[in-house]
Amino acid sequence: MSKARGETYLYHYTTAKGLIGIVEQKKIWATEIFYLNDWEEFLAGLKLATEHLRRLLDKAVARKDKVEAERSRWLIKEMKSIGALRSLSMYVCSFSADDDELSQWRAYCPKGGFAIGFPAKRLRALAKKQKFVLRKCTYSPDRQAKMVKDAVDTVVQAKPTPHELLSAGPNAESVIRCTLSNNLAWKLAQVCPILKNAAFKSEKESRLISEPRSGGDIDQWSFRADGGMVVPYKEFLLNDSTLWRKARVTIGPPPHPKESFASVYKLLRCNTGFAHAITNSRAPYRTW
């Protein structure tokens, strides 16, 4: 993560329209994870989980443990139902540790844009209040496999207590299976959003991730149009005076650097009262 005035900063790359919205409304959009460009990486995490469950199934069959084998089969089947149509949902907003990365300008601001930066400590405090977490992405395949394996093992190895079995009565096994599948979905929802392909390691990404929800937050849903699709998103509030006092903006490679600097200064000063740290990109890239 970049350092500024002794603090760690994270930067969100956006267009001119996006920057205006963030500054004027003091909000940033977190997109439902299944509508991100790279949501297949979430599926890659589910694939790792399924592969580990198949190994557990093979072991259960080898030792002739019918109960454990059937539970593993149940969980493997449940993995197929986690996706855009499942009621469990998560919302994600991406940040980078780098405020002036050429690959980011090309990917997210091909016609010109901005990287708006906030102190990570303040973002983390706001995340806690809004039932989000701020976590670094991991790019190591070995690390990713271990994280998913540990998540699966934590759920599978949690045995129901005698009291729970007695309370479930004759439907005990059905209750156990449903509990296992719900717990596993919840656990993977906390791990899979930070798994990223190693090809994107230069992005040094951290993510704001909403607490997984299972349908009870309809009043908080919002929608936007993007590429011919209706995309669900959730607002993450940035209404914190300390956050804006310390905000920083890097202007992407512009055709008119002086004019761009002046307009960003006015935007920040008018809407936040602060405009202390504005810089122009040093990247050798032209968008015009």
Query: What CA–CA distance (Å, rounded) separates 33 from 196?
Result: 13
> Sign of the CA dihedral 98, 101, 107, 111?
positive
- pLDDT score for 39: 72
- pLDDT score for 150: 96
* Model confidence pLDDT, tens digit, residues 219-277: 678 999 988 999 999 999 999 999 999 999 999 987 788 999 999 999 999 999 998 89
Average pLDDT for the chain: 88
- pLDDT score for 85: 46
- pLDDT score for 29: 96
**Sites in the chain below the pLDDT cut of 70:** 1-5, 83-87, 159-166, 168-169, 214-219, 285-288
DSSP letter for each residue of 85-96: TSSEE-EEEEEE
User: What 3-state class would DSSP assign to 250?
Assistant: strand
Terminal-to-terminal C-alpha distance of the chain: 30
pTM: 0.88
- pLDDT score for 2: 61
The vertex-73 CA angle with 71 and 78, nearest 5°, equals 95
- pLDDT score for 139: 95
Query: What CA–CA distance (Å, rounded) separates 158 from 247?
Result: 44
- pLDDT score for 266: 97
Closest C-alpha to 52, from 195, 184, 198: 184
